[in-house]
Amino acid sequence: MNSTERVPEIVTPRPASTLIIIRDGKAGVEVLLGEKTSKVNFAAGAFVFPGGALDESDSGDNFTISGDLSADKANQILGVADGGLNYWIAAIRECFEEVGVLFAIPNRGGMFTETEFAVFESNERKKLARGEATFHETLKDAKCSLELEQLHYFSRWVTHAGSPRRYDTRFFIARMPQGQIAQHDGSELIDHRWVKPDEALRLNSQGKLNLMFPTQKTLEKLTEFSDVEEALNYVRNAPPATPMEPRLTVGAGGKKLLVPGDFAYAEAGKLDPEQLGTVSREIEAGVVVQIDKRVSRMTAANASIMTGPGTNTYILGDDLNGYLVIDPGPDNARHIELVRDLTSDKVNGILCTHTHIDHSPGAAPLSRLTGAPIFGRLAENMDRQDSSFVPDEELSDGDELKFGDLTIDVLHTPGHASNHLCFLFEEARMLFTGDHIMQGSTVVINPPDGDMSAYFSSLNKLYDYQFDWIAPGHGFLMDNPHEAVNRLLIHRQKRETKIVNALSVLGEGTIDELVVTAYDDVSETIHQLAKRSLLAHLVKLQQEAKVNLNKDVWISASN
């Protein structure tokens, strides 16, 4: 960016609420969508859920509230210090104003009759639209109490940082009240319809129904539920909603928004904080991506089922002080040439996380061409290893490497391989994890060099270190590293529990028999790979005296 160019100011998002109203239709769940007029500044022409920005009058002090939802409980659910109830109230107010559906009951007890509510809705919405009364005055005069507990917190969406108009919106979901009929206001909403979520998505894909990104994603979630009660049970039991702040990226097909869980999401936030949409959501071999002040990534052209988009080579340093190369990748002449071009052959050291053939074979030719020494460890078992790997210095856990003004801490993390290392670059608060942690899948643990017990221990070891970013051997940057470690440990433990349960039911079984049950959630096409990790789990369980082995038959120790 030219120094004279002005970086756009990031707009602070306004607090807002949205209400997803659902009902049981003849063919499943139906959801209420309203069409925005083209005259509004936000979401013009789109079909949306009723909702809008919070108003100063959306305060719990202004309303009588039925049920058990307290201010403290609302704050806890939303994770705010104060004002949580205001979001529930705003959702109900906007819903009544836009589609005439009201979540309130008479203070006298019981419910409105259909006739009573029809008259109330017709008269009071007109007054609100003309500005002759406020929502809280309307309910006070009608002697009504809000039914906040009918609304369940569903999700949170924050408009991406590059947008000129931004909202921090809490999405709620509720069953359509009995005896009421939705009717758009004819002003902000010019149409409305009840539609099945999958039908709305189909119409959107055909260009017949304009949906905003958060609406699409919400509808995709709603397709999972067969009826209203199932949907409400999900939100009653779901963990606190993860904030969904879409991030704009580029790639094949143009610009696209990503959400948490998409592979390039964390990297897009780090490299493009102003959200100008400059970060690629695709990894392209040979393309240099600067991921920190003195860290670049270049991916080898060896994409496969085992390597994902390819092996990442990381280059640390600068032209003045020289460079370190982490995982030079396969012995690929073009890839090595690109590394040399990027470093101008000023390579002070070559570090290898381990010696599988997609990570270290490039070390020897790069060393010959640049004169750089090689650092790493030899494997305990050389089967399926890079036989060309000969380190100039064999590293140990706790070593501190200094190359000019670059300092690297060495962590020995056996499990995927006996010689596996991770490298911590504190300047960037970044851990280079090789295949100890990779993006998009769990790694194969392949005995005898692979060791599941060691893998568990090596994952737990990472909790002792502080860093902000994982730079994996395959994939994009990953944030929240300790959460990533926790997910891997939980996943592996769940898999081990499935193996134990399978043996408890079957009594005994071979690897071929057990993989069908223990890995019934993955495609049969990868069962051959899964058998290697299954064996690693069984060896771990055998070490713990939980299973026994008789020839090729594994037997539960509890039988």
Assigned domain for 309 exists: yes
- Residue that wins the pLDDT comparison between 392 and 106: 392
Encode pLDDT of 108-144 as tens digits. 777 788 888 888 888 888 888 888 889 999 999 889 9
Residue 325, pLDDT > 50, answer yes
Assigned domain for 544 exists: yes
Average pLDDT over residues 171-185: 94
CATH of the domain at 546: 1.10.10.10
Residue 120 confidence (pLDDT): 83
> Do 97 and 37 sit in the same domain of this protein?
yes
Residue 238 confidence (pLDDT): 83
Domain boundary among 445, 479, 513: 479
Average pLDDT over residues 494-521: 93
> Do 511 and 380 sit in the same domain of this protein?
no
> Do 213 and 126 sit in the same domain of this protein?
yes
Residue 42, pLDDT > 70, answer no
Token digits of residue 305: 């089922």
The mean pLDDT of the chain is 93
SS3 332: coil
> Do 429 and 515 sit in the same domain of this protein?
no
Please say whether the beta carbons of 263 and 294 come within 8 A: no
SS3 337: helix
Residue 259, pLDDT > 80, answer yes
Residue 38, pLDDT > 80, answer no
> Do 220 and 270 sit in the same domain of this protein?
no
> Do 273 and 141 sit in the same domain of this protein?
no
Average pLDDT over residues 60-89: 94
Assigned domain for 35 exists: yes
Number of helices (H), then strands (E), in the chain: 14, 27
Provide φ and ψ at 426, rounded to 5°.
-65, -30
Domain boundary among 281, 305, 330: 281
Percent of the chain with pLDDT over 70: 97
Encode pLDDT of 281-312 as tens digits. 999 999 999 999 999 999 999 999 889 999 99
Assigned domain for 3 exists: no
Residue 2, pLDDT > 50, answer no
Structural domain range at position 362: 283-479
Q: What residues contact 177, with CB distance under 8 A and at least 6 apart?
A: 101, 102, 103, 150
Q: What is the DSSP letter of 236?
A: H
Residue 1 confidence (pLDDT): 39
Report residue 41's pLDDT band, with 50, 70 and 90 as the boundaries.
Answer: low
Q: Which residues pair with 424 in a beta bridge?
A: 409, 431
Residue 545's region, left for phi above 0, alpha for psi from -120 to 50, else beta, is: left
Token digits of residue 350: 């070559």
Encode pLDDT of 475-506 as tens digits. 999 999 999 999 999 999 999 999 999 998 88
Report residue 43's pLDDT band, with 50, 70 and 90 as the boundaries.
Answer: low
CATH of the domain at 189: 3.90.79.10
Assigned domain for 183 exists: yes
> Do 31 and 61 sit in the same domain of this protein?
yes
> Do 147 and 254 sit in the same domain of this protein?
no
Average pLDDT over residues 29-54: 87
Token digits of residue 461: 């070891």
CA dihedral 494, 488, 265, 424 (to 10 degrees): 180
Q: Which of 104-118, 188-202, 438-452, 482-496 has the lowest mean pLDDT?
A: 104-118
- Residue that wins the pLDDT comparison between 546 and 440: 546
Report residue 3's pLDDT band, with 50, 70 and 90 as the boundaries.
Answer: very low
Domain boundary among 421, 450, 479: 479
Token digits of residue 81: 């210090």
> Do 448 and 500 sit in the same domain of this protein?
no
> Do 218 and 76 sit in the same domain of this protein?
yes
Average pLDDT over residues 32-58: 86
Q: Going along 415-512, which residue ranges are E strands?
A: 421-425, 430-434, 469-472, 508-509
Please give the model's pTM, rounded to 2 decimal places.
0.86
> Do 472 and 436 sit in the same domain of this protein?
yes
Please tell me whether the peptide bond between 448 and the residue prior to it is cis, using omega within 30 degrees of 0: yes
Assigned domain for 535 exists: yes
Residue 4, pLDDT > 50, answer no
Residue 112 confidence (pLDDT): 80
Q: Which of 113-117, 219-223, 507-511 has the lowest mean pLDDT?
A: 113-117
Encode pLDDT of 326-383 as tens digits. 999 999 999 999 999 999 999 999 999 999 999 999 999 999 999 999 999 999 988 8
Q: What is the total count of domains within the chain?
A: 4
Q: What residues contact 440, with CB distance under 8 A and at least 6 apart?
A: 263, 308, 474, 475
Report residue 7's pLDDT band, with 50, 70 and 90 as the boundaries.
Answer: low
> Do 393 and 297 sit in the same domain of this protein?
yes
Average pLDDT over residues 168-197: 94
Assigned domain for 2 exists: no
Residue 334 confidence (pLDDT): 98
CATH of the domain at 384: 3.60.15.10
Residue 267, pLDDT > 90, answer yes
Assigned domain for 467 exists: yes
Q: Which of 286-290, 456-460, 547-551 has the lowest mean pLDDT?
A: 547-551
